[in-house]
Amino acid sequence: MGVISRKVALIVGSSRTHGNSAGLASWLSNLLQQQFAKSERPFEVVTIDSTTPPLPLGSILDGTRFPGQITDPSQYSSQAIRDWSAFVSSCAAVVILTPEFNGGYPGDLKNSIDHLSREWRGKPVMLVVYSIRGGASCAAQLRGVMKSLSMRVVEREVQMLLPVEYGKGAERVVPGQPAEFLSSYETLVEEVASDLIELIV
């Protein structure tokens, strides 16, 4: 049996400026880190979004090979994709934090998923979604994509109902200053993170 990686990627689905993603990612990363620290084999949370290397990747322009046809990462058409492949492969699991946009999930997130194929197979994944409606449609779509990629998705997910003032108003979740409404989701995040650890080990 190989050595289990100690790294868990927290992939942030939206890089929209002045949004809630940065604050939510900070809050979630801290919670996950605390939960993972309780494990016999603690994990390091690495947060990444579409503006952070090894992303961005840009549009998928090279049609000479579909990602599913790639058997060796060196066959990818750019160094950026090869770096993304190496990063995903180096992670024991993935946590996806994403808003729901128009009943689905952001294009940046889909793009980052679609650049790879084999790297996702068997990868444990935990979903954390949010919107003023809770994000159920987004989560359902992601589950369909993850199933097609043979990822191992934690049975439960975290759906966060964003208060209207944080979605349509001027309020924002700020890094280092967790909004009060988030406290009601802490126990669920801890429980689902524990389920994720079970999939890893």
Which residue do the tokens 């990629």 mark? Answer: 149
In sequence order, the β-bridge partners of residue 62 are none
pTM: predicted TM-score of the whole model, two decimal places:
0.91
The answer as to whether 2 is a domain residue is no
How many residues comprise the chain? Answer: 201
How high is the mean pLDDT of the chain?
90
Distance CA 1, CA 195 (A): 21
**pLDDT (tens digit, 9 = 90+) per residue, 38-51?**
887 789 999 998 88
The answer as to whether 88 is a domain residue is yes
The answer as to whether 14 is a domain residue is yes
**pLDDT (tens digit, 9 = 90+) per residue, 74-122?**
888 888 899 999 999 999 999 999 999 999 999 989 989 999 999 999 9
CATH code of residue 58: 3.40.50.360
pLDDT > 70 in the chain, percent: 94
Coarse DSSP helix, strand, coil percentages of the chain, rounded to the nearest 5 percent: 40, 20, 40
The answer as to whether 115 is a domain residue is yes
Full domain range(s) for residue 89: 7-200
The answer as to whether 1 is a domain residue is no
**Both tokens assigned to 95:** 């946590």
Q: Give the phi and the psi of residue 80 in degrees, each rounded to 5.
A: -60, -45
The answer as to whether 52 is a domain residue is yes
Q: How many domains does the chain have?
A: 1
The answer as to whether 156 is a domain residue is yes
The answer as to whether 130 is a domain residue is yes
**Residue 1: pLDDT band with limits 50, 70, 90:** very low
